[in-house]
Amino acid sequence: MSTKASTNAAARLPVIFDTDPGVDDAMALLFAHRHPAVRLVGITTVFGNADVAVTTRNTLFLAERFGIDAPVARGAALPLVRPPRGAAVEVHGHDGLGNLPEPVTACRQPDARAAHHFIIDTLRARPGEVTLVALGPLTNLALALAEEPAVARLARQVIVMGGAFGTNGHGGNASPVAEANVLSDPHAADAVFTAPWPVTIVGLDVTHEVLMDDAAFARLRDEGGAEGAFLWDCSRHYVRFYGRAAGVRGCFVHDASAVACLLEPALFGQRAGAVRVVCDGIAMGQTIQAEEGKRYSHAEPWADLPSQRVCTSVRAADVLALFVRTVCGGAGGR
Specify the residue, 133 or 274, whose C-beta has the smaller distance to Ca ion.
Answer: 133
- Total Cβ atoms within 10 A of residue 8: 14
Stretch that binds ligand BDR, among 52-60, 97-105, 177-185, 308-316 (CB under 6 A): 177-185
Specify the residue, 91 or 97, whose C-beta has the smaller distance to ligand BDR.
Answer: 91
The phi, psi pair for 4, rounded to 5°, reads -65, -45
Does 49 engage in binding with ligand BDR (CB under 6 A)? yes
Q: Which of 181, 235, 257, 312 binds ligand BDR (CB under 6 A)?
A: 181
Does 255 engage in binding with ligand BDR (CB under 6 A)? yes
CA proximity to 201, closest of 293, 105, 274: 274
Burial of 334 (0-12, 13-18, 19+ CB in 10 A): exposed
Written as one string, the DSSP assignment of 202-259 is E-HHHHTT-EE-HHHHHHHHHHSHHHHHHHHHHHHHHHHHHHHHH--SSEE--HHHHH
Q: Which of 173, 235, 287, 289 binds ligand BDR (CB under 6 A)?
A: 173
Does 136 engage in binding with Ca ion (CB under 5 A)? yes
Q: Which of 180, 189, 260, 316 binds ligand BDR (CB under 6 A)?
A: 180
Please, which of residues 197-256 interact with Ca ion by CB under 5 A? 255
Smallest gap, in angstroms, from Cβ of residue 293 to ligand BDR? Answer: 29
Smallest gap, in angstroms, from Cβ of residue 295 to Ca ion? Answer: 36
At residue 47, what is the residue type?
A: F
Does 179 engage in binding with Ca ion (CB under 5 A)? no
Q: Which of 13, 15, 24, 194 binds ligand BDR (CB under 6 A)?
A: 24
Written as one string, the DSSP assignment of 120-152 is HHHHHHSTTTPEEEE-S-SHHHHHHHHH-TTHH
Quote the DSSP letter at residue 300.
Answer: G
Specify the residue, 238 or 302, whose C-beta has the smaller distance to Ca ion.
Answer: 238
Does 22 engage in binding with Ca ion (CB under 5 A)? yes
Does 95 engage in binding with ligand BDR (CB under 6 A)? no
Does 25 engage in binding with Ca ion (CB under 5 A)? yes
Does 98 engage in binding with ligand BDR (CB under 6 A)? no
The phi, psi pair for 245, rounded to 5°, reads -80, -35
Quote the DSSP letter at residue 6.
Answer: H
Measured distance CA(46)–CA(29) in Å, rounded: 15
The phi, psi pair for 308, rounded to 5°, reads -115, 170
Specify the residue, 24 or 190, whose C-beta has the smaller distance to ligand BDR.
Answer: 24
Measured distance CA(171)–CA(165) in Å, rounded: 7
Quick check: is 208 catalytic?
no
Stretch that binds Ca ion, among 14-22, 106-114, 162-170, 196-204 (CB under 5 A): 14-22
Question: Which listed option, ligand BDR, Ca ion, none, makes contact with residue 180 (CB within 5 to 8 Å by class)?
Answer: ligand BDR
Rg (CA), the chain: 18
Does 30 engage in binding with Ca ion (CB under 5 A)? no
Measured distance CA(218)–CA(241) in Å, rounded: 18
Question: Which listed option, ligand BDR, Ca ion, none, makes contact with residue 308 (CB within 5 to 8 Å by class)?
Answer: none
Does 311 engage in binding with Ca ion (CB under 5 A)? no
| Chain residues that interact with ligand BDR, rule: CB under 6 A | 22, 24-25, 49, 88, 91, 135-136, 161, 173, 179-181, 254-255
Write out the catalytic residue numbers. Answer: 254
